[in-house]
Amino acid sequence: MARILVEMTDDSLNREVGNPSVYQKSSCFRQRQIRWLQSLVSCDRNCSIDEFEAADAESVGTAYRSARIPFERVWMADVRKE
């Protein structure tokens, strides 16, 4: 599985951002075996990044569209730590 990041800005943010139950309860995410890991939300709530574990970025984008959750960009990331 890969790490997938989803970016949202003030135009696409909604009150459900950062609420894991939105992703865990949605069949759009469960059917594609997408697991929510965390959400990073700016203090002014104008932008956020959701982090998932999934097969690929395309399946996450498809799940967002199917669930009618707006987003800016979806991309695959490498995790690098010390």
Average pLDDT, rounded, for the chain: 88
The model's pTM: 0.85
Question: What are the pLDDT digits (tens) for 35-50?
Answer: 999 999 888 888 899 9
Token pair, residue 76, equals 């695959």
Question: What are the pLDDT digits (tens) for 58-78?
Answer: 999 999 999 988 899 999 999
Is residue 77 within 8 A of residue 38, CB to CB? The reply is no
Question: What's the CATH code, domain 2-77?
Answer: 3.30.70.100
Cα separation of 55 and 18, whole Å?
A: 21
